Amino acid sequence: MLIKPIKNPFALASWLLGGLIYSVALIANAQTLPALDPPQGRVILTITGDIKVSNSTSLSDKSEQPKAEFDLAMLDALEQHEFTTKTPWTNGAHQFSGVLLKEVLERVGATGHHIKAIAYNEYFAEIDTHDLELEQLLVTTRLDGKEMRIRDKGPTWLMLPLSDLKELNNKRYHELLIWQLKTLDVQ
């Protein structure tokens, strides 16, 4: 079979553009998030469920479920944020610092939009990531600059800047602010 040259410049441009779009789509799909190294220290947060990046698996119901385990150094390596706020559970205003929940979820390639946040005592709350009011939801690792211990509501505590966003200072949002956070299950 003899391949005939394309003589119509518009047909050639269309053919080339189609090939370019297809190539870009292939490259975009081939790009992946960077691998997540295993934790070197004590695991303080585990993310399970619909995630693309993991550093461990767990055997539950005889099926391997990917999970991403973070120690303090791994969370510290992500972009840090801080704010000062009053809470119903503390006296006066305190400085909360850590990583935004949305950035932790992006790091593990979370694909679900519902998060079940679970504390060490099995208390849990359901979080909808489409809730724009939760853009500033912080996975706090330090309170007033100090690492949080379990006895101090740590090692991680979900927190919002309640003093700045008064519309979030109510029972609905208070129930999401889990201290002694252990697991985020992406659904």
Mean pLDDT of the chain: 85
CATH number given to 43-186: 3.90.420.10
Whether 28 has a pLDDT exceeding 60, the answer reads no
Whether 32 has a pLDDT exceeding 80, the answer reads no
Say what the pTM is.
0.79
Whether 61 has a pLDDT exceeding 90, the answer reads no
Please give the residue that has the higher pLDDT: either 68 or 63: 68
Predicted local confidence at residue 31, as pLDDT: 52
Predicted local confidence at residue 170, as pLDDT: 94
Sketch the domain layout of the chain as residue ranges: 43-186
Q: What percent of the chain has pLDDT over 90?
A: 71
Task: Tell me the pLDDT band of 25, cut-offs 50, 70 and 90.
Answer: very low
DSSP-assigned letters across all residues of the chain = -PPPPP--HHHHHHHHHHHHHHHHHHHHHH--PPP-PPPSS-EEEEEEES-S--SEEEEETTEEEEEEEEEHHHHHTSPPEEEEEE-TTSSSEEEEEEEEHHHHHHHTT---SEEEEEETTS-EEEEETT-GGGGG-EEEEEETTEEPPGGGT-S-EEE--TTT-GGG-SHHHHTT--BSEEEEEE-
Q: What is the pLDDT of residues 80-108, one digit of tens each?
A: 999 999 999 999 999 999 999 999 999 99
